[in-house]
Amino acid sequence: MAKEVKKEKAAKAAEPKAEVQKEAQAAAPQTEDQGNRSTVTLKKEYGERIVPALMKEFGYKSVMQAPKLDKIVINQGLGIGVADKKIIETAINELTAITGQKAVATYSRKDISNFKLRKKMAIGARVTLRHDKMYEFLERLIRVALPRIRDFRGIEGKLDGRGNYTLGIQEQIIFPEINIDSISRLLGMNITFVTSAATDEEGYALLKEFGLPFRTEKNK
């Protein structure tokens, strides 16, 4: 009889936690491809672990208050591309290989005579990732690419004041999709994480929970 009472109490204690996880999973970003949901580890982890952790840390009353990662934008500004159109083509192909999504060229918005730049000239490459592609790229970035940086000690933790974060990468060769023997030039890029966070503190907490290795006082 005593054992049955203990089991009943344990079951009731577990109910609130299970309910939060259930609501968090429902709040996780959805895609049209229902069959691929379980293949993206970080996406699943957002609903099961990250949302409950953020709710506890910031005292949210609803899972809908928890910030989420809306999109990741990878951008390469290639001023040198004005003189060599092949650099733009190479950048587009490399970004496509790195992200698994077709990249596009970016164009100048006005004439700048000092730089021999005319309006609508190709000056860079860009790709915007959402849903599964976003989570897949984030997972590869954290677990594979960043650890390949020589003497890596973490990344700076300064956000933009609106809960978003931009990470500067100096060389594209940290991504395993790039064959170092076939590249003609080292190219950097900016990776911007756009979140729904209302503050930098909440945005930082979200990205840290995802696994972005922000630098601490110990490893600065």
Span 167-187, pLDDT tens digits: 999 988 899 999 887 777 788
pLDDT of residue 3: 47
Task: With cut-offs at 50, 70 and 90, classify the pLDDT of residue 155.
Answer: very high
C-alpha–C-alpha distance, residues 220 and 216, integer Å: 6
pLDDT of residue 183: 77
Q: Where are the domains of the chain?
A: 2-64, 69-210
C-alpha distance across the termini of the chain, in Å: 58
Span 16-42, pLDDT tens digits: 445 544 454 444 444 334 334 334 688
pLDDT, the chain, mean: 80
pLDDT of residue 24: 47
pLDDT of residue 111: 53
Q: What is the mean pLDDT of residues 78-102?
A: 83
The CATH architecture to which 69-210 belongs is 2-Layer Sandwich (3.30)
Span 125-154, pLDDT tens digits: 999 999 999 999 999 999 999 999 988 889
Burial call 63-80: b when 16+ CB within 10 Å, e when fewer:
bebbbbbebbbbbbbbee
Query: What is the Cβ-side half-sphere exposure of residue 98, based on CA atoms within 13 angstroms?
Result: 32
Question: Which position has the higher pLDDT, 108 or 57?
Answer: 57
